């Protein structure tokens, strides 16, 4: 062997050892080194321009050092991460800074107390949509339509409804002070309420005798929902029925299993959703046999932009299997599954890892622009009806709720036509 | 080769090999962590996720890298465009400043912005800014999340600030000028879409409060509510409305404007238009702060005892060119300061050599004299080089950096504010106070 060749061999061996050492952190995990590390070794800067990571770091330090006033570096970093995740245009893939991350955990652990009321967004704060019978809010005299403007003395005007709800929720047995506008009082009053464990009723019903239509409201899909639904349907079926309205407006969803249980009343052994992951893996959920119920009347489902997730899966399947007509406005478009990845500084990343596909309806996931403004998505109703924004809904007069009224007209045209 | 020699050589080889492995590991650590401090070296890559140790300040660059990696590994669709992620992150950071003068521009917006800086406009041929000016005259606002006890009354009228979209300069002879648009006009609707304004929301809040105090009838309140709802049904954010007016070289936009207490509607055909640039007519010169202006100004003042400088429609002037023009016109000395709200010393605006025989200057300004043009006018005026007529100015004295990103997008960052007199601690803050109000 020539000396030159031997020297070449040795050099190669030494370089190989070096490469092994360099790659060791990854080889331990059974991977090859990532290009970022290799590029850093050779001083490569990803072509002529700065790498995206360098651009980010550059902008970050520029804002910190050059902006006209001091900027909090942690908040700036988090704002950057929120922007990074928002660039995907998926409203459910988001960065959760430490505070928000903890709130999310509490929600999923569900060991919190509440006041026993359902809240909706309002210009002035949070409007009470309904009060649960016998709950703390009901006992304190709160009523639907009251507006909460401050919690524990701190104004909540202009805050997101989710944020307001999370400040009202708290440990069971603790006290919360609410500043409330009640229409019968000249000035806002402060009401003190003890938080308690709340089991929210999810199904409610009302027989609209004038039109012979059953009206069942499902406010979310939790474990007892399907059973509660059976009971309310049974109540309705003691009356003559020309049709049934299932109101899923403002229903944010809940458990997929619960939606499957509900659907099992209508169809047997049918696909509910297919979940598709990025690696091509698929999982599916189906209705279960033995719960089929004979609905001898047409069904209409009310949806709006706040009908989401399990509510959309339920309505979408009912539509796809020809069991119901959808009435209202397009739904939210929550057709995906998220996973929360905790990060080292107690913040976390919520990332969409899979998508739901309905039996027939094509993918209906919501798309937004970078300001969060709705672009496309959601289920399209069979009968479009925008809620008249001006009319105040009188629960005793279905005509004041023009979406409900459209559904009644659909189910019992002759009944609706009689004066 | 002797046996001794052989074994020495072999030992040397083994030592070299071990050294190389060790060296490789060390170089790798350096490659991953870069020049970060020691406390962070343990978290290099992929260890950042799924750990719950105590508060650790993760460097921003690592954070960016980790999150992009996480998205690539987990997101339901393949994520391949790193540039999009970086631009999104930068957009998020700039937006978090809540400052209508520090803005992220996407590719199209940034192109139009850079063109406008050299006087070439598209769209309706007008400079539009997001402005919080209306907030000053409005009811007192409590910043969101300010905390502390607040009376219900205050809570009732506080609204999250949304800037209005205001005209700050109109290209002479351009589409907007032909439609009669003037500086100070505020955009109310674009193609039937209401440009969201906090003023109207606040008005409704006040009406609601009056209703609660029984000073307003339910009918009146419901009427106001109906008006507001109807507007919100077809609404766009001011930044989107700006795009519709500022971008594009063809097409027609229907715009409703607010001027004082009146509103009026125009139909404007978008078309390219341009500012005249450096223009001489007699002893008067229109002086934009764009490349080449200083040399032309130098030639223009030769042999003149007095000149008139027209600084109208000068909104996006370059700070360096402004300084060069000052060198041409003013004797050596100090001409004010660029101050910040940081604890740093102000940057003096000094003329180094200057013109020892400056001509007398008459300035023509109006509300479209902004930014560096405004600073220039104030600097000349304060040092007694002008005929001391009262100046009308746009009220924007901020110096901005302009940063372009590789994907053609970019952002502006306000770095300081100009003021004529030496900053004493409190005075400096008074001038920059506006930024605080915006936040």
pLDDT for residue B345: 86
Q: Is A26 a catalytic residue?
A: no
Residue B23 sits in which domain range?
1-33
Note whether A37 contacts B155, CB cutoff 8 Å: no
Is there a single domain that holds both residue B267 and residue B345?
Answer: no
Provide the chain B residues 144-163 that lie in CB contact (below 8 A) with chain A.
144-145, 147-150, 152, 154-156, 158-160
Above pLDDT 70, what percent of chain B?
Answer: 81
Is A181 a member of any domain?
yes
Distance CA A288, CA A282 (A): 19
Q: How far is CA B73 from CA A19, A342, B22, in A?
A: 25, 15, 30
Is A95 a member of any domain?
no
User: Does the beta carbon of B344 lie under 8 angstroms from any beta carbon of chain A?
Assistant: no
Chain B closest CA to A108's CA: distance in Å? 17
| Nearest Cα residue in chain A from B429 | A69
**CA-based nearest residue to B103, from B92, B119, B116:** B92
A313-338 burial string, b = 16+ CB within 10 Å, else e? Answer: bbbbbbbbbebbbbbbbbbbbbbbbb
Question: Which of A68, A74, A87 is closest, CB to CB, to B417?
Answer: A68
Note whether B48 contacts A343, CB cutoff 8 Å: yes
| Nearest Cα residue in chain B from A40 | B31
Our count of domains for chain B comes to 3
| Nearest Cα residue in chain B from A280 | B76
Q: Which residue, B250, B274, B298, sits at the end of a domain? A: B274
| Nearest Cα residue in chain B from A70 | B342
Q: Which residue, A80, A101, A132, sits at the end of a domain? A: A80
pLDDT at B298 over 60: yes
Mean pLDDT of chain B: 81
Note whether A17 contacts B87, CB cutoff 8 Å: no
- CATH number of the structural domain spanning residue B312: 3.90.226.10
Is A145 a member of any domain?
yes
pLDDT for residue A33: 55
pLDDT for residue A373: 76
Is there a single domain that holds both residue B250 and residue B398?
Answer: no
Is B80 a member of any domain?
no
Question: Which of B83, B208, B435 is closest, CB to CB, to A124?
Answer: B208
Q: Is A334 a catalytic residue?
A: yes
Element (H, E) at A402: helix A402-411
User: Does the beta carbon of B20 lie under 8 angstroms from any beta carbon of chain A?
Assistant: yes
Q: Using CB atoms within 10 A of its CB, is residue A93 exposed (0-12), middle (13-18) or buried (19+)?
A: buried
Is there a single domain that holds both residue A63 and residue A29?
Answer: no
Chain B closest CA to A163's CA: distance in Å? 11
Provide the chain B residues 401-420 that lie in CB contact (below 8 A) with chain A.
401, 403, 405-406, 411, 413-417
Is there a single domain that holds both residue B203 and residue B292?
Answer: no
Distance CA A81, CA A100 (A): 14
Distance CA A38, CA A28 (A): 17
Is there a single domain that holds both residue B165 and residue B126?
Answer: yes
Question: Which of B77, B155, B403 is closest, CB to CB, to A150?
Answer: B155
Contacts of B416 in chain A (CB under 8 A): 68
Q: Which residues contact A68 (CB under 8 A, 6 or more apart)?
A: B340, B341, B342, B398, B414, B415, B416, B417, B432, B435
Chain A closest CA to B38's CA: distance in Å? 16
Mean pLDDT, contiguous 10-residue spans, chain A (419 residues): 70 72 60 54 51 92 94 93 92 85 52 78 84 84 90 87 86 90 87 84 90 94 90 95 96 90 96 91 93 96 94 97 96 90 85 94 86 85 86 81 95 83
Question: Which of B22, B44, B77 is closest, CB to CB, to A21?
Answer: B22
pLDDT for residue A371: 67
pLDDT for residue B40: 30
Question: Which of B21, B44, B416 is closest, CB to CB, to A20?
Answer: B21
Question: Which of B93, B155, B212 is closest, CB to CB, to A80?
Answer: B93
Is A104 a member of any domain?
no
Distance CA B1, CA B9 (A): 10
Is B401 a member of any domain?
yes
ipTM over 0.85: no
pLDDT for residue B160: 56
Is B248 a member of any domain?
yes
Is A108 a member of any domain?
no
Count of Cβ atoms closer than 10 Å to residue A362 Cβ: 6
Q: Tell me which DSSP letter residue A400 carries.
A: G
Distance CA B76, CA B79 (A): 9
Distance CA B181, CA B170 (A): 7
Is there a single domain that holds both residue A236 and residue A156?
Answer: no
Note whether A23 contacts B24, CB cutoff 8 Å: yes
| Nearest Cα residue in chain A from B156 | A124
Question: Which of B51, B52, B158 is closest, CB to CB, to A157?
Answer: B158
Is there a single domain that holds both residue A258 and residue A389?
Answer: yes
**CA-based nearest residue to A21, from B69, B16, B43:** B16
Our count of domains for chain A comes to 4
Q: Which residue, B226, B257, B274, sits at the end of a domain? A: B274
Out of A205, A220, A309, A336, the active site residue is A309
pLDDT for residue B266: 96
Is there a single domain that holds both residue B212 and residue B266?
Answer: yes
pLDDT at B52 over 50: no
The SS3 call for residue A272 is strand
pLDDT for residue B63: 86
Is B62 a member of any domain?
no
Is there a single domain that holds both residue A322 and residue A394?
Answer: yes
Is there a single domain that holds both residue A276 and residue A377?
Answer: yes
Is there a single domain that holds both residue A148 and residue A243?
Answer: no
- CATH number of the structural domain spanning residue A331: 3.90.226.10
User: Does the beta carbon of B284 lie under 8 angstroms from any beta carbon of chain A?
Assistant: no
pLDDT for residue A254: 85
- CATH number of the structural domain spanning residue B216: 2.30.42.10
Contacts of A37 in chain B (CB under 8 A): 28, 31-32, 45
CB pairs under 8 A between A and B: 312
pLDDT for residue B241: 93
User: Does the beta carbon of B53 lie under 8 angstroms from any beta carbon of chain A?
Assistant: yes
Contacts of B88 in chain A (CB under 8 A): 83-88, 370
Read off the tokens for A185: 């009082």
Q: Is A320 a catalytic residue?
A: yes
Contacts of B96 in chain A (CB under 8 A): 75-76, 79
pLDDT for residue A21: 65
Alpha helices in B263-371 (DSSP H): 293-301, 319-329
Interface test with B, best of A1, A59, A351 (most B CBs within 10 A): A59
Residue A96 · residue A349 · CB < 8 Å = yes
Is there a single domain that holds both residue B257 and residue B395?
Answer: no
Distance CA B198, CA B196 (A): 7
Is there a single domain that holds both residue A238 and residue A351?
Answer: yes
Note whether A66 contacts B87, CB cutoff 8 Å: no
Residue A1 sits in which domain range?
1-41
Is there a single domain that holds both residue B394 and residue B298?
Answer: yes
Read off the tokens for A269: 């052994």
- What is the average pLDDT across B327-341? 94
Element (H, E) at A162: helix A161-168
Is there a single domain that holds both residue A238 and residue A350?
Answer: yes
Out of A122, A247, A261, A320, the active site residue is A320
Distance CA A127, CA A182 (A): 10
Provide the chain B residues 190-219 that lie in CB contact (below 8 A) with chain A.
201, 204-205, 208, 212-214
**CA-based nearest residue to B60, from A62, A36, A42:** A62
| Nearest Cα residue in chain A from B233 | A389
Interface test with A, best of B9, B44, B46, B88 (most A CBs within 10 A): B88
User: Does the beta carbon of B143 lie under 8 angstroms from any beta carbon of chain A?
Assistant: no
Interface test with B, best of A158, A163, A336, A367 (most B CBs within 10 A): A158
Is there a single domain that holds both residue A147 and residue A223?
Answer: no
Count of Cβ atoms closer than 10 Å to residue B25 Cβ: 17
Is there a single domain that holds both residue A334 and residue A232?
Answer: yes
Q: Which residue, B234, B254, B274, sits at the end of a domain? A: B274
Distance CA B332, CA B353 (A): 5
Is there a single domain that holds both residue B145 and residue B186?
Answer: yes
Interface test with A, best of B45, B49, B90, B235 (most A CBs within 10 A): B90
Is there a single domain that holds both residue B133 and residue B249?
Answer: yes
Read off the tokens for A79: 């704002």
Question: Which of A67, A83, A87 is closest, CB to CB, to B97?
Answer: A67
Is there a single domain that holds both residue A207 and residue A178?
Answer: no
Contacts of A389 in chain B (CB under 8 A): 226, 229-230, 233
Interface test with A, best of B48, B65, B152 (most A CBs within 10 A): B152
Is there a single domain that holds both residue B295 and residue B433?
Answer: yes
Is there a single domain that holds both residue A207 and residue A284?
Answer: yes
pTM of the model as a whole: 0.71
pLDDT at B146 over 50: no
Is there a single domain that holds both residue B262 and residue B176?
Answer: yes
**CA-based nearest residue to B22, from A20, A43, A8, A26:** A20
Note whether A124 contacts B205, CB cutoff 8 Å: yes
Is B97 a member of any domain?
no
Contacts of A33 in chain B (CB under 8 A): 28
Is there a single domain that holds both residue B206 and residue B308?
Answer: no
């Amino acid at each position: 062997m020539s000396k030159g060749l031997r020297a070449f061999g040795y050099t190669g061996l030494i370089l190989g050892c070096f490469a092994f050492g360099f790659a060791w952190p990854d080889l331990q995990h059974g991977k090859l080194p990532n290009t970022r590390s290799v590029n850093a070794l050779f001083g490569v800067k990803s072509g002529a321009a700065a790498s995206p990571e360098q651009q980010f770091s550059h902008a970050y330090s520029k804002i910190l050092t050059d902006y006209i006033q001091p900027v909090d570096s942690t908040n700036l970093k988090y704002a950057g991460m929120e922007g990074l995740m928002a660039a995907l245009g998926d409203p459910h893939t988001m960065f959760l800074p430490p505070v928000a991350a903890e709130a999310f955990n509490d929600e999923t652990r569900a060991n919190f107390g509440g006041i026993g009321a359902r809240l909706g967004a309002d210009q002035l704060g949070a409007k009470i949509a309904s009060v649960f019978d016998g709950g703390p809010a009901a006992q304190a005299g709160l009523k639907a339509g009251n507006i909460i403007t401050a919690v524990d003395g701190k104004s909540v005007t202009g805050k997101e409804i989710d944020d307001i709800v999370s400040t009202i929720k708290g440990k069971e047995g603790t006290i919360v002070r609410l500043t409330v506008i009640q229409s019968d009082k000249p000035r806002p009053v402060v009401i003190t309420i003890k938080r308690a464990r709340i089991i929210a009723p999810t199904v409610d019903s009302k027989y609209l005798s004038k039109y012979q239509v059953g009206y069942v409201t499902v406010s979310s899909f939790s474990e007892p929902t399907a059973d509660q639904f059976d009971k309310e349907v049974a109540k309705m079926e003691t009356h003559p029925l020309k049709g049934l309205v299932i109101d899923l407006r403002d229903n944010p969803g809940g458990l997929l299993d619960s939606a499957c249980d509900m659907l099992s009343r209508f169809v047997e052994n049918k696909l509910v959703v297919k979940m598709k992951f990025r690696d091509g893996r698929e999982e599916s959920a189906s209705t279960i046999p033995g719960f089929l119920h004979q609905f001898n009347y047409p069904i209409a489902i009310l949806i709006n932009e706040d009908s989401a997730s399990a509510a959309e899966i339920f309505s979408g399947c009912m539509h796809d299997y020809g069991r119901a007509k959808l009435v209202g406005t397009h739904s939210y478009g929550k057709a995906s599954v998220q996973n929360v990845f905790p990060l080292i500084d107690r913040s976390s990343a919520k990332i969409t890892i899979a998508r739901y596909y309905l039996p027939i309806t094509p993918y209906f996931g919501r798309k937004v622009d970078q300001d969060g403004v709705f672009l496309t998505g959601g289920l399209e109703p069979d009968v479009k009806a925008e809620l008249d924004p001006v009319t105040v809904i009188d629960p005793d007069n279905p005509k004041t709720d023009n979406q409900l009224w459209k559904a009644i007209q659909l189910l019992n045209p002759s009944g609706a036509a009689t004066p | 080769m002797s046996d001794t020699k052989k074994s020495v050589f072999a030992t040397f080889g083994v030592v070299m090999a071990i050294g190389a492995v060790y060296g490789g590991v060390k170089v790798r650590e350096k490659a991953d962590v870069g020049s970060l401090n020691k406390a962070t070296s343990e978290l290099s890559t992929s260890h950042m996720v799924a750990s719950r140790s105590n508060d650790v300040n993760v460097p921003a660059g690592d954070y960016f890298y980790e999150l992009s990696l996480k998205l690539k590994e987990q997101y339901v669709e393949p994520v391949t465009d790193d540039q999009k992620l970086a631009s999104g992150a930068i957009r998020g950071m700039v937006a978090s400043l809540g400052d209508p003068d520090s803005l992220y521009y996407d590719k199209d917006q940034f192109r139009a912005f850079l063109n406008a800086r050299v006087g070439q406009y598209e769209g309706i041929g007008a400079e539009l800014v997001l402005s919080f000016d209306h907030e000053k005259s409005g009811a007192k606002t409590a910043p969101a999340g300010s905390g502390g006890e607040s009376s219900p009354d205050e809570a009732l009228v506080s609204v999250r600030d949304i800037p209005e979209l205001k005209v700050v300069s109109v290209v002479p002879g351009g589409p907007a000028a032909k439609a009669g648009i003037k500086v100070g006009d505020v955009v109310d609707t674009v193609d039937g879409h209401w440009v969201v304004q906090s003023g109207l929301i606040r008005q409704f809040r006040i009406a609601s409060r009056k209703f609660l105090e029984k000073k307003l009838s339910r009918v009146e309140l419901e009427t106001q509510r109906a008006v507001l709802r109807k507007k919100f049904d077809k609404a766009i954010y001011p930044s989107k409305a700006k795009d519709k007016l500022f971008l594009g070289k063809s097409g027609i936009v229907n715009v409703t404007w607010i001027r004082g207490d009146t509103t009026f509607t125009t139909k404007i055909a978008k078309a390219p238009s341009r500012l005249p640039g450096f223009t001489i007519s007699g002893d008067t010169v229109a002086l934009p702060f764009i490349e080449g202006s200083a040399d032309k100004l130098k030639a223009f003042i030769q042999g003149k005892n007095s000149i008139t400088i027209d600084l109208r429609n000068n909104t996006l002037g370059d700070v360096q060119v402004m300084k060069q023009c000052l060198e041409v016109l003013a004797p050596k000395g100090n001409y004010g300061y660029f101050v910040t709200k940081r604890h740093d010393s102000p940057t003096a605006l000094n003329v180094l050599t200057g013109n020892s025989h400056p001509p007398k200057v008459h300035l023509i300004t109006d509300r479209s004299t902004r930014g560096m043009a405004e600073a220039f006018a104030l600097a000349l005026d304060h040092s007694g080089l002008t005929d001391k007529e009262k100046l009308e100015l746009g009220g924007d004295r901020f110096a901005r950096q302009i940063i372009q990103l590789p994907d053609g997008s970019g952002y502006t960052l306000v770095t300081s504010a100009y003021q004529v007199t030496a900053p004493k601690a409190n005075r400096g803050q008074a001038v920059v106070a506006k930024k605080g109000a915006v936040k």
